[in-house]
Amino acid sequence: MTLAPRVVLVSRRTELDELLARHGTAAQAAFFLSARGRDLDEVTARAEAARAALTEVAAAIPRDWRRGSVQRADLDRFPFTPDDIVVVVGQDGLVANVAKYLDGQPVLGVDPEPGRNSGVLVPHRPAAVAALLESLASGRAQLRRRTMVSAETDDGQVLHALNELYVGHPTHQSARYRLAVDGAVPERQSSSGVIVSTGTGATGWCASIVRTTASRVSMPAPEEPALAWFVREAWPSPATGVERTEGRLEDSDALRVMSETDGLVVFGDGVEADRLVLAWGQSVALRVSPRRLCLVPE
């Protein structure tokens, strides 16, 4: 017997939820916001829009299909299965948050607040979900396979990311390490960290790096199997160099970072809690991930 498709709804707590959890009552939340020049009505309206979008998306799932749901905070513990259809309702960043836990499952991004989000990764409206789910279940839906980046330590730990990976000190202060692209002689460096970006991440953290450094690196397209890497604020000294501070990694290349500081971390897409930790002498290889984000385009 063939099982009905399973749809997993991914969302996150609204700002209103966070405020009520912290302050206890709507009145206390309103006082907190007013002291900062904000209005509870605006926050409430956004929360209602998010809830309405979730309700409409949930109603679009056929009644005989299986379904699950998970909040952003619980993604690292949720048991996704290979046949899941993942529907993300929220900001573009929420798609990046879930991407690292998937391996080929189709992702349908739904924007609950059109005009407020960029909508690059959540291009769809709730009203379009029913038809898109049927198209996905029948295999007729088009998918765009966005490149991801991976980090693998010398003891076998692996982390994937959609936008970028950061390697450095957890406080972003100076970190010491040796850096090398495959086949090259390593350079000892001291910097505030190394960023390795996909084409999707080219419009995020790396966009500011490119602007402020006048970089000549050609950023990859979102589906191109290539990465760009940058060293932030490399420090020149008798013991540390600044010759290798940016470049591209093609599909078969790896950027290797060998830690010369205890407690360097590797994390992706701004989620610092989900990270790898490097001891002194450990190394990590950063390269194009074998995984792709399979996104339903607009």
SS3 284: strand
With respect to CATH, is domain 6-141 assigned 2.30.30?
A: no
> Cα(84)–Cα(80) distance, rounded to whole angstroms?
7
Q: Which of 70, 79, 67 is nearest to 3 (CA)?
A: 67
pLDDT at 81: 96
- Where do the domains of the chain lie? 6-141, 148-290
Q: Which helix (H) or strand (E) holds 109?
A: strand 106-110
pLDDT at 178: 97
Q: Which helix (H) or strand (E) holds 227?
A: strand 227-231
pTM: 0.90
Q: Which amino acid makes up residue 160? A: H
Superfamily of domain 148-290: Probable inorganic polyphosphate/atp-NAD kinase; domain 2 (2.60.200.30)
pLDDT at 209: 83
Q: Which of 288, 271, 287 is nearest to 147 (CA)?
A: 288
Q: In sequence order, which ranges of 5-145 are alpha helices (DSSP H)?
A: 15-23, 26-34, 40-60, 92-99, 129-138
SS3 18: helix
Q: Which helix (H) or strand (E) holds 208?
A: helix 205-213
**Which residues are paired to 100 by β-bridges?**
none
- Residue by residue, pLDDT tens for the chain (298 residues) are 578 999 999 999 999 999 999 999 999 999 999 999 999 999 999 999 999 999 999 999 999 999 999 999 999 899 999 999 999 999 999 999 999 999 999 999 999 988 887 889 999 999 999 999 999 999 899 999 999 999 999 999 999 999 999 999 998 899 999 999 987 899 999 999 999 999 999 887 788 888 777 788 889 999 999 999 999 999 999 999 999 999 999 988 999 999 999 999 999 998 888 899 999 999 999 999 999 999 999 8
Please identify which residue in the block is written with the tokens 């980046």. 149
pLDDT at 298: 87
Q: Which amino acid makes up residue 248? A: R
